[in-house]
């Protein structure tokens, strides 16, 4: 079964954050980016299941 991935724009919309935040701050916040391809044509994507786990970890109290 293939893993479900989301591109940067999808992640930004899902988290209600900016695309810039996803590129710069998401890795610092604990979301692991995956790079597909090389050079200027490389695509950065995030695993959907990891995003959902990360959201659950952000709960307060």
Q: Does domain 5-57 have CATH number 3.30.420?
A: no
3-state secondary structure of 47: strand
For the chain, the structural domain boundaries read 5-57
**pTM given for the model:** 0.85
Torsion of CA 8, 27, 20, 55, to 10 degrees: 70
pLDDT band at 60 (very low <50, low <70, confident <90, very high): confident
pLDDT tens-digit readout, 1-56? 456 999 999 999 999 999 999 999 999 999 999 999 999 999 999 999 999 999 99
CB–CB of 9/44 below 8 Å?
Answer: no
Residues in the chain: 61
CB–CB of 35/59 below 8 Å?
Answer: no
| Structure confidence at residue 2 (pLDDT) | 59
């Amino acid at each position: 079964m293939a893993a479900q991935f989301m591109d940067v724009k999808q992640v930004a919309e899902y988290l209600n954050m900016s695309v810039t935040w996803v590129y710069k701050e998401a890795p610092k916040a604990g979301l692991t980016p995956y790079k597909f391809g090389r050079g200027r044509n490389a695509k950065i994507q995030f695993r959907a299941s990891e995003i959902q786990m990360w959201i659950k970890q952000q709960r307060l109290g």
